[in-house]
Amino acid sequence: MDKNVVGWFEIPVRNMDRAVKFYETVLGFQLHRQLMGPLEMAWFPWVENAVGSPGSLVYHTQYYTPSENGTLVYFTSPSGNLSVELARVEAAGGKILQPRTQISEEYGYMALLTDTEGNRIALHSRE
């Protein structure tokens, strides 16, 4: 197999403005908002044919509900050191559930947090 298994991810939100502000503040990049009928999306930036999977925040009153108990998405630290992004979480309205923790020397570090919508997400970096 020469491709990653995950092709796309969606993170449910209750309030798109609040969620976009949280992710843009913590991760330090801009999301692209798109209205598709009753479905509203805010796409994370991606590069065609690069390693990793593109994805989006998504709002729909009937089909998407944020949860701390669902699938866990790991975001790669844009700075290369997740301590940078973790320092922004609480000021952006999120909560750190598990601080920066070493996975192993080979795989680096991870941390768990909840976003402003109640979703549990993770951050990862090699440093």
**Which among 96, 95, 101, 100 is positioned nearest to 83, based on CA atoms?**
100
pLDDT of amino acid 70: 86
Residue 72 lies in a domain: yes
Please state, in angstroms and rounded to a whole number, the distance separating the CA atoms of residues 4 and 49: 11
Residue 95 lies in a domain: yes
Helix residue ranges, H only, 16-98: 16-27, 82-89
Concatenate the DSSP letters of all residues of 6-20 into one string.
---EEEE-S-HHHHH
Number of domains in the chain: 1
In whole angstroms, give the CA distance from residue 67 to residue 108: 26
pLDDT tens per residue across all 127 residues of the chain:
566 777 899 999 999 999 999 999 999 999 999 999 899 999 999 888 887 889 999 999 999 999 999 889 999 999 999 999 999 999 999 999 999 999 999 999 999 999 999 999 999 999 8
User: Quick one: pLDDT at residue 3?
Assistant: 66
Asked whether residue 4 is domain-assigned, the answer is: no
Residue 81 in any domain: the answer is: yes
> Per the domain annotation, does 91 fall within a domain?
yes
CATH of the domain at 93: 3.10.180.10
CA 48 to chain centre: 19
Domain membership of residue 111 (yes or no) is yes
Domain carrying residue 104: 9-125
Q: Is the pTM of this model over 0.75?
A: yes
**Predicted local distance difference test score (pLDDT) of residue 50:** 81
Q: Per the domain annotation, does 3 fall within a domain?
A: no
